[in-house]
Every structure is written in C-alpha cells, then in structure tokens.
Amino acid sequence: MNSGRSTEEFSIQKRGHLLIEDPLLNKGTAFSDQERSQFGLVGLLPPHIDTLEEQVERSYEAFCDFQNDIDKHIFLRQLQDENETLYYRLLLEHISEMMPIVYTPVVGLACERFSHIYRRPRGIFISYPERDQMDEILENIERDIEVIVVTDGERILGLGDQGAGGMGIPIGKLSLYTLCGGIDPAKTLPILLDLGTNNEERLDDPRYVGWREHRIKGAEYDAFIDQFVQAVKKRFPDVLLQWEDFASVDAERILDKYRDDLCTFNDDIQGTAAVTTGTILAAIEAAGGKLTDQNIVMLGAGSAGVGICLQLKQAMLQSGLSEDEAKARFYVIDRDGLLHSGRSDLDELHQRLAQSPENLQGWDCDVSGAISFADVVRNAKPGVLVGATGQTGAFTEEIIREMASHEEHPVIFPLSNPTSRAEATPEDLLKWTDGKAVIATGSPFDPVEYNGVTHVIAQCNNSYIFPAMGLGIRASRARRVTDSMFMAAAFALKEASPALKDPTASLLPSLTIIRDVGRSIARAVAQAAIDAEVADSLTAEEIDQRIEETMWKPEYKSL
C-alpha cells in the first residue's frame, strides 16, 4: 500500500478551522453537538444542526439563484472545495441538471476562463521548470491515491490548447469518477502537466496562471513525460492513471509506450471508442440491422476517430468477419479526404484503416487524388456516420439527405464537444432525414419534437464508461488495462440501452440510474480483467462484493 495518511487519521489530527476547511471532512452545519465539543467547533458554526438533506435543499436553492451556467459551475466548484460529501449528494439528487454544468459542455468555457475564475488550489500542477522536483511534488500529497487523471492541456475538448486552464478537465473527470462510479474522492488526484502553451490569447492574458512560455515538444517533452510516469510509479505504484486531452500525435505514442508499464489508459482513445461502440451497437440493433452489414464513415482521423473505428472493427472480427472484410467496411476521412492506400502521407496507424484501391473501383469520382466527404457518402452508402472533427456544421444538409436516400434509419453521431462544435444539431438531422435518423451526440441536447414524435437524444458521453472502468479496475485490483476490458464495457453498455426494448426510447440509459449501469459495466470489466489474467481470481459473487465495498456513498460518517 502507499505510505500516505488516511482520511480517518486526519479526522483525529484536525480541529477547529482546519477541520472545517478540509472538504473531505467538513460537515458544516451538520456537525453534531458532540463533534463540535470534541473538535473545537463550538461557536464557529451557527447553533442549529442541519441534516445532510437540509443542506442539500439549501444548496439547491442557491444553485437555482444563478442565472447563467458559468456562475452555476463556479458555485458547484466552490461547494466541492468546501464540502465534498454535500457536493456529491447534491449532484446525485440533481444529476441530469448538474452534470452538464460540472462537465460538458460548461467545463469547456470553464477551461477557457480558468485563470479568471480560479479560487482555490485543487490537485497538483507540475510545470516544466519544476521537472526535477516531481518526487517532492508528489510527496506533498499526504493521502493514498487510487485514480489519477492527467492532462497537458494541449487539446481540450474541441477548443484546442488551453495550457494550465486544462486543469478543469481532470477536476471534472474525477468528479464523474465519484459521481457515476463511486470512487472515493479522497483517493483521486487531478494533475496538470504544464509544458507551456501555444495559445497566444492565454500568453497575453495578464491573469493567466500557467507557465508563460511556448510549449515544450520533441525529446524534451518525451523526457518530461517519462520522468512523470516514473515518479507516479514510485509514489503510487498501484494507481490507475488516465491520460486526458493530449494532442493526437502524443496520445497514441504515450499510450503505446506505457500501457504495459502500469495500470493506465487514454480516455480519448479507448473510453470514447467504448462508449461509441456500445451506443452504435445499440442503435443498429434497435433499427433492426446487423453490425457486419454496415459501412461506417468516420469524419475525423484524430485519436478519438481512429480509436472508435479500431474498436468497431474488433467487434466485427468478433462477429465473424475476416480482417480484410472488416477493414473494407470503414471509410475514414481527414482534412485531405478519404484515407486510402494510394496516399503517401499516412502514418502507420492511419494505414491500418486505409481503404484499398480495389474497394474504390466503380466510384463516380476521381479516386486518384483527394476523395471528399461528399464523394464517400455518395459512393460508400454508409449506414453509420460519426463525426469527431470539432468543426461546427460539418454534416451538411446535402450530405445527410444523400445518406438518408439509401438508408432507412441512418445512424448519425455528431460527437464533437462542446455543444457549439457539434457537426450538426439533432433538430436539423431529424428534419433532413424526415425523422428517421437514429442520433446520439457528444454534448447534451434537449429532446426534439418532429411530426408529433418526441425524440430523446442520447449523449454519447464517456461518463458511461470511464467511471465504471475505474470501479471495475479498483474492485478487481487489475494491474493493467486491456483492450478486452474496454470491449466488455462496450457490450455491457449496449445491453443497458432502453432502445433495445423500445426503438423510440433513448439509446443510452437515464443519468438517474448511472450508478446502477456503472455496476453492470464494472462487473463486465472486472470479469474481463480476470479472464486476461491481469487481476485477482474472483467468483461472480466476490466481484459483486468487491464492487459494493469499493463504491463510496456521499454520507456523513462519525468522526
């Protein structure tokens, strides 16, 4: 075990204002008379003793008083820094309303304005000038840590380089680990690796809190990352380390280098792939189709788009297709058009999804040069279209109507975040397909009324996957994260789809039962880890027991 002190030990050592100011221990007005006397709190709090339920009601009233989303986000972040138990109980009771505030889409604006709304330290910042002090920095964390989310802030959602402002993402992700997956907040740690920023607006901002230099790249960047990984392994050898919002060129390389070195995964690559795969599988089945019959167009060849395609391809292989048959089903498009083997600019990863010239024979366009998005949709006749571009309006009416002309129920997923970067709105997609499209989005959208039918739009959000992955990994004591564990998560998510029982229902379950869904996914993940021999050998009953023991609940405990 790690050498950090436990939360219980803090409760003995801290008194008075120090106790009230610790968000992991603070109960505010809910401290009992005995606790107030024992821990030097008499007179420091109003005399009335509230229940947690009363505190939730008061906090919700305060939340509702704010008129805009960023102020609501700031309020919730301040509450988190004051009293984590109250914060998570409030979120659980109002999860559908508040998850978009603490995470997408509002977290994007919070990252952009991070330096202006900064209030109180949370997590740790490791800047490039402090690279030789990493061991000392991590030793400043006096708790056992089981889950770390780390970013370098270079590719925040669809907003690009936010530098130190990217810290909003690890903070938000770990909030969802606790909210949706029941990971104890005392055992989580957000980290921002500050290697500078190439965002001139941030560098010119007098309020910017980060290291005010352009980004370190190349050999120096790789050495910094390696130094960080070694420091984490030394201080927290059993931790789950999640990489988040790194530039595509770095994300793949980092994952490949360290995935067999410690318990780690990249949520943009693997988590996005799993939630999208599970949701697409549900969409195809709900529409009466089969995965192996689908041609799939992916607009966007970054880490998310490629990861989704590779996992869907693996699902096709598991369904009986050969490697060549499965590969022929995918049409991936980057800024220079369709990936095909005639192009000389493709790296090894993109070559794995490049179409062969034989599959393009007979197309009514010039296949010797750049092949456009419109050309691909017209000729490939896809049943599934996914967007991971960050480009608003990339799904045009002409292209969507072309797709709908040859597909009865086109599956269309504009996944880019935040909402302002979506490739199309659900309202337009339903209008252009005469209400027949099966839709999931990356950011939340309100239900859409079309021809008297209400369409509930599923948010294909990683929050269905990575918290449950964390729960399954911690419960099974997994030592590594395998592709099979993500595939198990995808299939478990598909089985939870309400649309399998009612085609008019949402593709994904309600957020109000996300902890129950998380248990089911965690169970599948734990079993896959056991099957891959990277976790303890457990029976089904022991897995369930471990999951319940691992899940933290927002309830006050006696000090």
Query: Is pLDDT at 10 greater than 50 in this prediction?
Result: no
Packing angle, helices 84-93 and 95-102, rounded to 10: 120
Please tell me the number of Cα atoms within 13 Å of 331 on its side-chain side.
24
| Cα-only R_g, the chain | 24
pLDDT at 11: 45
pLDDT at 12: 59
Catalytic residue among 14, 27, 72, 173: 173
DSSP-derived secondary structure for 9-28: HHHHH--HHHHHT-TTT--G
Check if the beta carbon of residue 216 is closer than 8 Å to that of residue 122.
no
Long-range contacts: 219-223, Cβ < 8 Å, 24+? 220/128, 221/195, 221/250
Terminus-to-terminus CA distance in the chain, angstroms? 23
pLDDT at 443: 86
Q: Which residues are annotated as a binding site for (S)-malate?
A: 155, 417, 461
pTM (predicted TM-score): 0.92
Q: Which residues are annotated as a binding site?
A: 155, 244-245, 268, 417, 461
| Helix extents (H) in 158-302 | 168-181, 200-203, 218-235, 248-258, 272-286
Using 50, 70 and 90 to split pLDDT, how confident is the model at 525? very high
Q: Which residues on adjacent β-strands are paired with residue 266? A: 243
Quick: pLDDT tens for 204-214. Answer: 999 999 999 99
pLDDT at 248: 87
Please tell me the number of Cα atoms within 13 Å of 9 on its side-chain side.
7
- Give the whole-angstrom CA distance, residue 242 versus residue 297: 28
The CA-atom distances, in angstroms, between 38 and each of 9, 30, 85, 526 are 15, 14, 21, 42
- Our answer to whether residue 103 is catalytic in this structure is yes
Q: Which residues are annotated as a binding site for a divalent metal cation?
A: 244-245, 268
Closest among 415, 417, 448 to 433, alpha carbons compared = 448
Average pLDDT over residues 492-520: 94
Catalytic residue among 87, 88, 103, 177: 103
Q: Is the bond preceding residue 105 a cis peptide, omega within 30 degrees? A: yes
Using 50, 70 and 90 to split pLDDT, how confident is the model at 419? confident
Query: Is pLDDT at 396 greater than 90 in this prediction?
Result: yes
The domains found in the chain, sorted by start residue, are 51-262 (3.40.50.10380)
- Give the whole-angstrom CA distance, residue 358 versus residue 379: 14
The CA-atom distances, in angstroms, between 370 and each of 341, 343, 384, 385 are 12, 9, 22, 19
- Our answer to whether residue 88 is catalytic in this structure is no
